[in-house]
Structure 1
Amino acid sequence: MIEFFTNLELTPFILSFKLAGLTTFILFVISLPLAWFLSQTSSKAKPFIEALTALPIVLPPSVLGFYILVSLSQNSPLGSFFENVFGVSLVFNFTSLVIASCFYSLPFMVQPLQGGFESINKNMLEASYIAGKSQMQTLFKVALPNMKPAVLTAIIITFAHTVGEFGVVLMVGGSIDGETKVASVAIYEMVEMMDYEGAHIYSALMIVMSFVILLLVYTFNSSKRIGGFHK
């Protein structure tokens, strides 16, 4: 056990956190205007957009991963375009992991943000509009400062969810050392090789990290008396 810790390979964990950090940043930029739109609109298309956004929650990761793989492969128009024009492959590399993770973790960013926007007192927003502020000014100067717990919840849960991804990242990235072999894939391979000691240690580390992250979220939200993920 001590010898394993001494020789513990940290690259899969570094890749996992790198992937989670980049995915969380991209999704925050994408989801902020989307969640704001969903919280403010009364369009008949709203339920359709919400269902589409939430689809990764109920869809098997293998199904999502398969269609992402097909869409990004060299045989697809998109994959072929990037391969021929930029000389870049969109599958079985770190780029493919980021793309797949953005699709798979999208609802975990959108839903807390949308819930936070919807929890804001409508009178505050109306007062902002009456004062002559635009929607973007209202979003950044009124809405966001009054929903910090929801923002924190969205960021941390998205990060934690991405760290724990397995099926989707394995489908589109495979297991390439130093490139796509994240912690969850490393655990899977250890079990396949019957290296249960290594799998136990890697899994225990993942459990501890995930628990600490969730504990921070619930502790912060409890102190603010705001639930960011559940409306």
Structure 2
Amino acid sequence: MIFQQFFEKQSSTYTYLIACEQSREAVLIDPVVSEIEKYAEVLQSQNLVLSYSLDTHVHADHVTAANSLRSKFGCKTVIHRHSGVACADIYITDRSAIRIGQILIEARYTPGHTRACTSYVTEGMVFTGDALLIDGCGRTDFQEGDAATLYDSIHQQIFTLPDETVIYPGHDYRGRFSTTVQHERLHNSRLGQGRSKAEFIDIMANLNLPYPEKIDVALPANQACGQS
């Protein structure tokens, strides 16, 4: 497997490249439109063909590169069927899978941050988008978010993975790159140490977070696959 993690500073967004060494097919998870030239440089330098662009959800803090990548590389855009996005090529559901060469990428439906959140599992790794972050999780106070739903999603779809599974989140604001299922299950400040659903709901209800700075631009653009 070929793997690379990209970081977009303005929104602290992680994008992930996964590719099959044999077939040279590649996917990008949560690509950001401003970073297309970086992705293109890596794809070209490693002789890779971009087959799919996967979004974990409809983002509110940056604009997806889905449409631009489709125009530039002819790849297919992928998102969950509950996203409300009408312009994707493939609408996934829980436990559907995308294959690139010898690599199978399984979708796990993890709503709660938004209605469409999906995590992607492959070869000892899980890409959780905003559902589960390092020592945190996505907020649940907009985009049809629901704390009880997010609690169930994380416990049923992510914490049930093997302890050593590496978690790659959609964001981090402290320079951290990854974590593990075991570490988050034990130490996550909102979900760890066996916190009950009621405790989690109370924590999420009292975060008092500001209105997302870029939601009014990013959300409508992302509902159109990144078109302004």
TM over 0.5: no
Question: Which structure has greater strand proportion?
Answer: 2
Question: Which structure has greater helix proportion?
Answer: 1
Which structure's CA Rg is the greater one?
1
TM-score relative to the length of structure 1? 0.31
**Which has the higher relative contact order, 1 or 2, with Cα contacts under 8 A spaced 6 or more apart?**
1
